[in-house]
Amino acid sequence: MFRPLQDRVLVRRIEGEARSAGGVIIPDTAKEKPSEGEIVAVGPGTRNDDGTLTALEVKVGDRVLFGKWNGTEVKLDGEELIIMKESDLFGVVERDAAETKTPGKKKAA
């Protein structure tokens, strides 16, 4: 078990599609590192000048976007994860909004 400190988060990369939009299979050597991940653990937050704790905006299970070179890659229990500050995250991907706005995809009933 790992618990990040202060405003750090632990992120698991989410692998993208192995095919291009045209259906061509992309080999592992040509794939880019995904810049999307899932929050695995979060720290308690940071302390303000007056000593009050400011909690993080993200929570475990959130799907987030981040820069390709952000964070520090670590291996915990055989799994490759990334430790980064919350400020290195670009934003949270809202699952319902992303599914309904994707053209050509319909939600299963």
Domain boundaries, the chain: 8-101
CA separation (Å) from 99 to 34, 39, 47, 64, 94? 19, 20, 36, 15, 9
pLDDT bucket at 1, cuts 50 / 70 / 90 = confident
CATH superfamily of 8-101: GroES chaperonin (2.30.33.40)
pTM of the shown model: 0.71
Burial 43-53 (b: 16+ CB within 10 A, else e): beebeeeeeee
- Convert the pLDDT of each residue in 2-56 to its tens digit: 899 999 999 999 876 555 556 666 555 545 566 899 999 999 999 889 989 999 9
